[in-house]
Amino acid sequence: MDYKKTNAETTTTTRDLRDLENKTGNIYETLAIISKRANQISVEIKEELTNKLAEFASHTDNLEEIFENREQIEISKFYERLPKPTLIAVQEYLENKIYYRKPSIEPEQN
């Protein structure tokens, strides 16, 4: 997913708990769904950042590293400015972009 185009806020805002629990009927279940999605987003962003910074890895020291460090700093600053994974997950949940399923409590016995 392209997190650069998300419309999630970059700062924490107060949310009405009733709005969050409407879909599941249980605020704890809602928070579990949002936290699992936030973990997925965090892993994806970390992998993407690691792959981009791996391009700059070098085993020798030279003057070119000074210029490459500027690029590394710009990439790092960009990822720091992104909304936190939790805020992205909350926005996705509110926009019905998260798929979740609720397995039955007791499995059917034949």
pTM of the prediction?
0.77
Q: Tokens at residue 44, please?
A: 């994806």
Sketch the domain layout of the chain as residue ranges. Answer: 35-96
59-102 per-position pLDDT tens digit: 565 655 555 577 888 888 888 888 999 999 999 999 999 988 87
- Which class for 99: exposed (0-12), middle (13-18), buried (19 or more C-beta within 10 A)? exposed
Angstrom distances, CA of residue 82 to CA of 18, 27, 29, 34, 36: 27, 26, 26, 18, 19
